[in-house]
């Protein structure tokens, strides 16, 4: 009976699209779903409206209220326009930037959004072709805009597209503007409320000049120009995995002095089909296979890869046997923050007013490095909008050195307010040159960090649960972890539980409840054990996944201890996985 009710509801919603002011192609796609005896596609396309959340939109492309299409994108853009017109009513001209990545329909969605903004009297700066997300963030600040959007689904599978909304500081929208924009989007009751006919006089195409200005800002971040000059021909392989990184990363590496950047020609081809990979996500090992093969062929020292919208970076380095190993997101963070803090200290650039930022699920080794160097560290929620908020709150008071998250995102410098693979690639290459100039490989540098600060093994596990049933299952899993908390992890007693959904923690050693000081609630649970193990659990905000982050610790006294320490910590991780059934 419940299924029959749901089918009746989605059929009614689909019929409204058949009868409404939608184009013929959309109506035919909806009719095909209605005519199909299998109603699963119809249910998934219409069981809800694609939610314009605090980060914008993300969903599978196609017809339907729960799909990315010109109408859901149109409603989002009209709602954002309506809010901008209210919020900045005193301005003579409201301005926005629009960028997009390589995905199918990204250019179409960007141009339709430009038409809608301009139809509402808003000045639009539209990039001439695909660009990395960080350049959109930069352009908003550079051009004095009030908002901006990036059409991208980041590293999601090819069926997806998305829409990120930015505010006037170049960061993704935060409270109260996020809630207010959502309210305006929800007020779009009909496709007829959307102004699709643009005003071309208000749309200005931007491109090369902004690229050059961006690269000049990245050059200012470089701390070891002499090492780069001496090691300029260090061999590196770079791949954009068919995405937007190709427009800026090679040019930036050349501009700071590197002369031996090796490409993967097949993956320089811009394509929303991502024909050479199963997933365009640099977190996935297979995504770097072709680049590593090229590095072996050319005897390169390391590999860098960026995702479709050019905000995340994945890397691979050679181990002591010369074999390539993938660097996980936490290790990447260690490389960056260790280098930036150590090098700044060497150059006498530490004044006591510097700070770094990490997310709550990122390795705790970052705090050890910051503490030893006399640098303040902030913890924040997953998502660069929270890092951007901390940068904004400290602007003019303290100096931001860098920050990031374990999901392969990093930002050095504050001219961008989102994760930035362009500057991240530049600095990773700089670190490799600096290490080589000191007689070290990147692997030996990583070993030395572990010797100094302790070994940490971090493993992320994502369980994919698609559709409505999947969403219900994820909700039930989180409820179970809250009502039946584990008492031990890997044989070590749990001493602290943090529930960011309630902003409460319980310290079992002191037997006391603690309030968590965070800007808002978040559906995240964390367990800490007596021996330092950390387990974080959270549903993804952008994908149909529930994520588990396991962090265990060990001790290294020498580089020779690496293999044994890794084996011991792997055993701990596997024991915890068995315990959790993941």
Residue 387 three-state SS: helix
On whether the CB atoms of residues 127 and 99 are closer than 8 A, the answer is yes
Strand ranges, E, within 307-373 = 313-318, 324-327, 354-359
Q: Which helix (H) or strand (E) holds 370?
A: helix 365-372
Q: In what order do the strands lie in the sheet with 324-327?
A: 261-263, 236-239, 302-306, 313-318, 324-327
On whether the CB atoms of residues 381 and 518 are closer than 8 A, the answer is yes
Please calculate the CA angle 496-501-503 and round it to the nearest 5 degrees.
60
Q: Computed over its alpha carbons, how large is the radius of gyration of the chain?
A: 24
* Bridge pairing between strands 504-507 and 236-239: unpaired
What DSSP string runs through 84-140? HHHHTTT-S--EEEEEE-SSTTHHHHHHHHHHHHHHTT-EEEEESS---HHHHHHHH
On whether the CB atoms of residues 130 and 244 are closer than 8 A, the answer is yes
C-alpha pair distances (Å), 470 with each of 67, 110, 474: 17, 30, 6
On whether the CB atoms of residues 262 and 294 are closer than 8 A, the answer is yes
Please count the other Cβ atoms lying within 10 Å of the Cβ belonging to residue 147. Answer: 25
Cα 449 to Cα 237: distance, rounded to the nearest angstrom: 24
Among 154, 421, 423, 522, the one annotated catalytic: 154
Closest by CA position to 3, among listed 39, 32, 37, 34: 39
Beta-carbon-side half-sphere exposure of residue 19 (alpha carbons within 13 Å): 7
Cα 334 to Cα 453: distance, rounded to the nearest angstrom: 10
Buried b / exposed e over 51-73, threshold 16 CB at 10 Å, is ebebbbbbbbbbbbbbbbbbbbb
Closest by CA position to 333, among listed 427, 238, 225, 435: 427
Does the annotation count 154 as an active-site position?
yes
What DSSP string runs through 160-228? EEEEEEEETTSSBP-TTHHHHHHHHHHT--SGGGS--S--GGGEEEE-HHHHHHHHHHHHTT-S-HHHH
Residues 6+ apart with CB under 8 A from 398: 353, 354, 355, 376
Q: In what order do the strands lie in the sheet with 399-405?
A: 376-380, 354-359, 399-405, 409-412
Cα 407 to Cα 142: distance, rounded to the nearest angstrom: 27
Cα 58 to Cα 56: distance, rounded to the nearest angstrom: 7
Please count the other Cβ atoms lying within 10 Å of the Cβ belonging to residue 316. Answer: 23
Cα 524 to Cα 137: distance, rounded to the nearest angstrom: 27
Catalytic residue set: 154
């Amino acid at each position: 009976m419940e299924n029959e009710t749901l089918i009746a509801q989605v059929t009614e919603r689909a019929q409204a699209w058949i009868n409404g002011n939608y184009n013929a192609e959309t109506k035919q796609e909806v009719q095909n779903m209605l005519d199909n005896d299998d109603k699963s596609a119809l249910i998934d396309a219409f069981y809800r409206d694609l939610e314009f959340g605090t980060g914008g939109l993300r969903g599978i492309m196609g017809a339907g209220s729960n799909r990315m299409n010109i109408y859901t994108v149109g409603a989002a853009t009209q709602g954002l326009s309506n809010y901008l017109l209210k919020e900045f009513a005193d301005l003579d001209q409201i301005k926005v930037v629009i960028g997009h990545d390589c995905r199918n329909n990204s250019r179409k969605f960007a141009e339709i959004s430009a038409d809608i903004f301009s139809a509402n009297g808003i000045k639009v700066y539209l990039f001439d072709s695909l660009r990395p997300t960080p350049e959109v963030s930069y352009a908003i600040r550079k051009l004095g805009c009030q908002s901006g959007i990036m059409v991208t689904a980041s590293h999601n599978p090819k069926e997806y597209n998305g829409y990120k909304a930015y505010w006037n500081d170049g960061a993704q929208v935060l409270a109260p503007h996020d809630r207010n924009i959502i309210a305006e989007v929800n007020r779009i009751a009909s496709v007829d409320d959307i102004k699709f006919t643009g005003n071309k006089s208000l749309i200005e195409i931007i491109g090369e000049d902004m690229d050059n200005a961006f690269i000049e800002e990245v050059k200012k971040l470089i701390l070891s120009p002499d090492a780069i000059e001496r090691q300029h021909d260090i061999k590196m392989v770079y791949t954009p995995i068919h995405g937007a990184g190709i427009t800026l990363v090679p040019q930036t590496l050349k501009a700071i002095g590197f002369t031996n950047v090796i490409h993967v020609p097949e993956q320089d081809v811009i394509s929303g089909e991502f024909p050479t990979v199963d997933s365009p996500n640099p977190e996935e090992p297979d995504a770097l296979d072709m680049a590593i093969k090229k590095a072996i062929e050319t005897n390169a020292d390391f590999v860098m890869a960026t995702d479709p919208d050019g905000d995340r970076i994945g890397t691979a380095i050679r181990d002591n046997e010369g074999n390539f190993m993938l660097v996980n997101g936490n290790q990447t963070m260690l490389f960056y923050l260790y280098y930036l803090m150590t090098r700044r200290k060497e150059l006498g650039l530490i004044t006591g007013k510097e700070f770094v930022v990490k997310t709550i699920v990122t390795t705790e080794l970052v705090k050890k490095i910051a503490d030893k160097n006399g640098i303040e560290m902030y913890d924040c929620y997953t998502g660069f909008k929270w890092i951007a908020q901390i940068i904004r709150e400290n602007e003019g008071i303290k100096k931001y050195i860098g920050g990031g998250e374990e999901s392969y995102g990093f930002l050095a410098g504050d001219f961008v307010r989102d994760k930035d693979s362009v500057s991240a690639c530049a600095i990773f290459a700089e670190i490799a040159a600096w290490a080589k100039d000191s007689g070290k490989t990147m692997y030996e540098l990583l070993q030395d960090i572990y010797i100094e600060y302790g070994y940490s093994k971090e493993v992320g596990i994502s369980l994919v649960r698609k559709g409505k049933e999947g969403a219900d299952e994820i909700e039930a899993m989180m409820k179970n972890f809250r009502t039946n908390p584990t008492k031990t992890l890997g044989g070590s007693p749990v001493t602290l539980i943090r529930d960011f959904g309630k902003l409460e923690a319980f310290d079992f050693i002191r037997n006391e409840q603690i309030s968590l000081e965070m800007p808002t609630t978040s559906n995240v649970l964390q367990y800490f054990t007596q021996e330092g193990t950390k387990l974080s659990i959270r549903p993804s905000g952008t994908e149909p996944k529930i994520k588990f982050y396991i962090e265990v610790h060990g001790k290294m006294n020498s580089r020779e201890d690496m293999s044994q320490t890794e084996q011991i910590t792997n055993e701990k991780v596997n024991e915890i996985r068995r315990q959790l059934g993941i």
